[in-house]
Chain A
Amino acid sequence: MYPAKFAYEAPRSIQELLDLLARHGDDAKVLAGGQSLVPMLKLRFAAPELVVDINGVPGLDHLTEDPDGTLRVGALCRHVTLERSALLAAEYPVMAAAAPLVADPMVRSRGTMVGSICHADPQGDWASVLMALGGHIVAMGPRGKRPIAMTDFVVGPFQNALQPGEFAYEAVVPPPVGQRTGTYLKLERRVGDFATVGVAVSLEHSGGRVVRAGIALTGVGPATINAADAADVLVGKPLSEETVEQAARLAAEAAQPQADHRGSVEYKRHVVATFVRRGLARGEVVAA
């Protein structure tokens, strides 16, 4: 399959990139890992006039933690880098759990977390992870940088909140307010598949209580779902059987699954509740 014709530019600096985007606006498509865009070009679901390949732009592949504990994941930080990161393994249990579950090894060699979030596929795993962690995307455009909360970033299936002329510079996870626990659980029909259901559960504990909680759902709605009510019942108290059960029920209610070849509505809701329980069971602080 051949994509339709397009013009191609490979800017060598952020300024060149911004100039190209300013000049071409909506006619331009950013190419990051290409693991969603190239298949779409081949199927001709996307036929942009201009493809702007950002892979040669220096300064976008970072994975760094600020002194205050803010994590920054650059637009060219690939899934595989996150999968192999010692920092994530030590301090970011939800991200470390999700990274190896995204796609397959070859897709992970190229694909990026930021690109996945920009793609805004309701079945994308990273959007749920960043949402549960209370993170945001830093957009960069002609007027500089601006943060967009993950809860506002996905505006619909395959639609994000970037304006023409902007690109996503990095994904940001705020510093923790307590000890971080949690995980990402994903049901897939076979290894490497998109999620039938994915659930990100992130908790922060301090003084024996949950001080921050986030729960987000993959693959069970027209977009990534923020199960805020489910997360809220956990905050301000220690985890108990009662709050866990409430959270599982509220998350299942927040899900808006469609029946398809991956399962029925009831089944998917059931898996959401089960994953929330399991995720929270792993959310206990060891020797608190």
Chain B
Amino acid sequence: MSFSKTVEITETSADTRRITVTVNGTPRVVEVEPRLLLVHLLREGLALRGTHIGCDTTNCGACTVLHDGNPIKSCTMLAVQADGHEITTVEGLGTPSELDPVQEGFHREHGLQCGFCTPGMMMAARALLDREPDPSEEDVRWALSGNLCRCTGYQNIVKAVLWAADKQRGAQPAEEDAR
């Protein structure tokens, strides 16, 4: 599969490189210009628009994806650097019929309002739970400290992640608060 057409970012045909990136479990072969950012490959080249661009200056975390399981800002990595690596985006987290516990937690605990920060939040949360299945509230706040939310005040986001942790461990998730 080649996405050179959609991936090209200028009209002049520049030197491109062929890379293989495993995105959400599927190897994708694409032609990219070295200056193409990973977030643009994902959104424009691969039409995975769940990954958002908030600030474009490495500050907000809306573009967070997993790179070999580690949370990174995809606006601050070149797409060529993903060659040979595994990228997980929010589209790889779960399916509508089988949500990831993190997604379920955001749903149950009202972890979002406008939803713009949510994909990045969920990817950072997934990375935390993969490493630390039983995080404290402090651990959750720390792990999400690079993700900005302009709406929620964070309280319900933290609850959502703690809910997901409980669910994932098979513990009874704490019942929802009266809202």
- Stretch binding the partner chain, chosen from A31-39, A199-207, A249-257: A31-39
Beyond A4-B35, A7-B15, A8-B78, whether A105 also contacts B145 by CB under 8 A is: yes
- The listed residue with most A CB atoms (<10 A of its CB), out of B15, B67, B76, B77, is B76
Query: Are A104 and B145 in contact, with the CB atoms below 8 A?
Result: yes
Q: Does B155 contact A (CB under 8 A)?
A: no
Q: Among residues 67 to 92 in chain B, which have CB atoms less than 8 Å away from a CB atom of chain A?
A: 67, 70-73, 75-78, 80-81, 83
Interface centre among A1, A3, A38, A104 (most CB of B within 10 A): A104
- Whether the Cβ atoms of A192 and B58 lie closer than 8 Å is no
- Interface residues of B toward A: which range? 20 to 34
Q: How far is the CB of A77 from chain B (nearest CB, A)?
A: 14
Asked if B18 is at the interface (CB within 8 A of a chain A CB), the reply is: no
Contact check, A55 vs B56: say whether CB atoms are below 8 A apart. Answer: no
Task: Return chain B residues, CB-CB under 8 Å to A2.
Answer: 9, 35-37
Chain A residues 52 to 98 lying within 8 A of chain B, measured CB to CB, are 53, 55, 80
Is B77 touching A38 in the complex (CB atoms < 8 A)?
yes
Query: Which residues on A sit within 8 Å (CB–CB) of B97?
Result: none
* Residue from the list B17, B73, B81 in contact with A107, Cβ < 8 A: B73
Residues of chain B within 8 A (CB-CB) of A14 are: none
**Nearest CB on A from B74, distance (A):** 9
Q: If the complex has contacts A2-B9, A2-B35, A2-B37, are A34 and B17 also in contact, measured as CB distance less than 8 A?
A: no
**Least distance between B164 CB and chain A CB atoms (Å):** 17
Instruction: Select from chain B the residue with minimum beta-carbon distance to A50.
Output: B34
Q: Which residues of A contact B142 (CB under 8 A)?
A: 100, 105
In the assembled complex, B14 has its CB within 8 A of some CB on chain A:
yes
Give how many A-B residue pairs fall within 8 Å (CB-CB).
Answer: 86
Known: A2-B37, A6-B35, A41-B35. A106 touches B146 (CB 8 A): yes
Count chain A residues whose beta carbon lies closer than 8 angstroms to a beta carbon of B.
31
Which residue of the partner chain A has the closest CB to B14? Answer: A5
Contact check, B77 vs A34: say whether CB atoms are below 8 A apart. Answer: yes
A104 touches B61 (CB 8 A): yes
CB distance A80 to B70 under 8 Å? yes
Min C-beta distance of A45 to chain B, whole Å: 12
| Distance of A6 from chain B, by nearest CB (Å) | 6
Is A55 in contact with B81, judged by CB distance below 8 angstroms?
A: yes
**Is B103 interfacial (CB 8 A cutoff)?**
no
A253 to B1, CA, bound (A): 63
B131 — nearest CB in chain A belongs to which residue? A84
On chain A, the residues within 8 Å of B14 by CB distance are 5
B109 within 8 A of A: no
A131-180 with Cβ < 8 A to chain B:
none
Decide yes or no whether B33 CB sits under 8 A from chain A.
Answer: yes
Shortest CB-to-CB span from A102 to chain B, Å, is 11
Kindly state whether residue A109 has any CB partner on chain B within 8 Å: yes
Chain B residues whose CB sits within 8 angstroms of the CB of A4 once the complex forms: 35
Could you show 14 A-B contacts with beta carbons less than 8 Å apart? A1-B56, A3-B35, A6-B34, A7-B15, A10-B81, A38-B77, A39-B58, A41-B35, A51-B78, A103-B146, A104-B61, A106-B71, A106-B124, A110-B76
If A6-B34, A8-B78, A43-B57 are given as contacts, then 17 extra A-B residue pairs at C-beta distance below 8 Å, sorted by A number, are A2-B37, A10-B80, A31-B78, A34-B76, A35-B76, A42-B37, A51-B34, A53-B80, A53-B81, A100-B142, A105-B124, A105-B144, A106-B64, A106-B146, A107-B73, A110-B77, A192-B145
> Interface residues, chain B, CB within 8 Å of chain A?
9, 14-15, 17, 33-37, 56-58, 61, 64, 67, 70-73, 75-78, 80-81, 83, 124, 142-146
